[in-house]
C-alpha cells in the first residue's frame, strides 16, 4: 500500500509540475523569436557540447547504458534550457547554465546513483521536449491520440515478447538507464508512461483548459493506484493500455461539454 501511494504521488506530482512548467515557459511568439532558424552563438555552443557528448560516448566504448544516459541527459538539458529562457535574455548563457545543470545530474548518476537519483532524472527529462512539442503546436491533440494508440500496440508487444527476455522481476527493483523506470519500493512505472502523461496533460491544458487537465491527472492517479493494488507483482503490464483510454475519455467528455455549452 505504501509503495502504491508513493508511486501515485510521484506520478501526479510529475503531471502537476508539467503544468507549472508549461505555464512558465515563454509563449510561442517569444520562443520563435529566441529560437530562430539560423546559426547563432548559442547554437554553436550547443553543437560543441553535443559533439563533446558523442565524443565521450565514442571514447567510452559505445555501451548501451552510456548511449541511453546521453539521451536522457540531453532531455534534461532541454528541460533547463526552455525554462531559463523565461528569465535569461542571452541564449548562450542559458545554454551554458543548462549544461552545468546536466553536469550536476551526471555527477549524481555516477557517484550516488540509486532509485532517488534516477527517479529525479526520468521525471525531469519529461518536461522540456514534451512542452516544446505542445507549446509550439507541433503535436496536435488528435495526432497525439493516434501516436498514443500506436504506442499502446508497441507497449503490448514489448511486454509480451521483449521485456521478459531482458528483465527479471525483483523484490527491490533498481532503476538505471538500462531499466528506465520510476521506482518506489517494490513497484515501478516506465519513464515512457511518465512522458505520455505529460504530453496528454499539457495537450489537454492547451486545448481544453486547466479544469480538464486536472480531471485527467486525478483519473490517471486513481487508475494507477488501483492497478498497483490489484495487479499481481509477477505480471508485467503495458500500462498505456489504461492511460490512453482515460485520455481519450477526458478528451471526449471535454468536447461534449464544449458543444453543450
- The 10s digit of each residue's pLDDT in 187-225 is 888 888 999 999 999 999 999 999 999 999 999 999 999
Can you give the residue range of the structural domain that contains 98?
2-260
Q: Give 80-132 as a DSSP string.
A: HHHHHTTT-S-HHHHHHHHHHHHHHHHHHHHHT-HHHHHHHHHHHHTTHHHHH
97 vs 230, residue with greater confidence: 97
191-208 and 240-260 helices, crossing angle to 10°: 0
50 vs 259, residue with greater confidence: 50
Query: What pLDDT shows up at residue 248?
Result: 93
d(CA 221, CA 103): 32
Q: DSSP letter at 26?
A: P
The answer, yes or no, to whether residue 40 has pLDDT greater than 60, is no
Query: What pLDDT shows up at residue 38?
Result: 53
Residue matched to cell numbers 508487444: 157
User: Which backbone phi and psi does 189 adopt, to 5 degrees?
Assistant: -145, 130
Length, in residues, of the chain: 261
Total structural domains within the chain: 1
d(CA 21, CA 27): 12
Largest CA distance in the chain: 61
d(CA 10, CA 58): 35
Q: Are 237 and 151 in contact (CB under 8 A)?
A: no
Query: What pLDDT shows up at residue 196?
Result: 94
Count of H helices and E strands in the chain?
12, 2
Residue matched to cell numbers 471526449: 252
Give me the mean pLDDT over the 89-117 stretch.
91
Stated pTM of the model:
0.85
The answer, yes or no, to whether residue 257 has pLDDT greater than 70, is no
Q: Give 43-69 as a DSSP string.
A: HHHHHHHHHHHHHHHHHTT--HHHHHH
Query: What pLDDT shows up at residue 166?
Result: 57
- Quickly state the pLDDT bin for 108 (edges 50, 70, 90): very high
Amino acid at each position: 500500500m505504501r509503495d502504491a501511494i508513493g508511486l501515485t504521488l510521484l506520478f501526479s506530482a510529475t503531471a502537476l509540475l508539467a503544468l507549472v512548467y508549461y505555464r512558465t515557459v515563454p509563449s510561442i511568439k517569444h520562443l520563435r523569436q529566441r529560437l530562430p532558424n539560423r546559426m547563432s552563438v548559442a547554437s554553436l555552443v550547443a553543437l560543441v557540447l553535443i559533439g563533446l557528448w558523442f565524443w565521450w560516448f565514442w571514447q567510452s566504448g559505445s555501451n548501451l547504458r552510456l548511449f541511453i544516459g546521453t539521451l536522457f541527459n540531453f532531455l534534461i538539458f532541454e528541460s533547463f534550457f526552455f525554462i531559463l529562457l523565461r528569465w535569461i535574455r542571452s541564449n548562450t548563457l542559458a545554454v551554458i547554465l543548462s549544461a552545468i545543470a546536466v553536469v550536476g545530474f551526471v555527477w549524481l548518476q555516477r557517484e550516488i546513483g540509486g532509485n532517488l537519483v534516477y527517479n529525479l532524472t526520468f521525471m525531469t527529462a519529461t518536461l522540456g521536449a514534451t512542452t516544446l512539442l505542445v507549446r509550439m503546436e507541433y503535436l496536435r491533440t488528435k495526432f497525439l491520440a493516434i501516436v498514443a494508440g500506436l504506442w499502446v500496440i508497441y507497449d503490448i508487444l514489448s511486454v509480451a515478447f521483449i521485456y521478459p527476455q531482458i528483465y527479471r522481476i525483483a523484490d527491490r527493483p533498481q532503476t538505471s538507464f538500462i531499466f528506465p523506470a520510476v521506482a518506489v519500493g517494490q513497484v515501478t512505472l516506465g519513464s515512457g508512461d511518465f512522458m505520455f502523461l505529460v504530453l496528454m496533460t499539457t495537450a489537454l491544458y492547451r486545448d481544453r483548459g486547466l479544469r480538464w487537465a486536472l480531471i485527467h491527472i486525478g483519473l490517471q492517479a486513481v487508475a494507477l493506484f488501483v492497478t498497483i493494488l490489484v495487479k499481481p507483482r509477477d505480471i508485467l503490464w503495458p500500462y498505456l493500455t489504461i492511460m490512453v483510454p482515460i485520455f481519450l475519455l477526458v478528451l471526449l467528455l471535454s468536447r461534449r461539454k464544449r458543444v453543450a455549452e
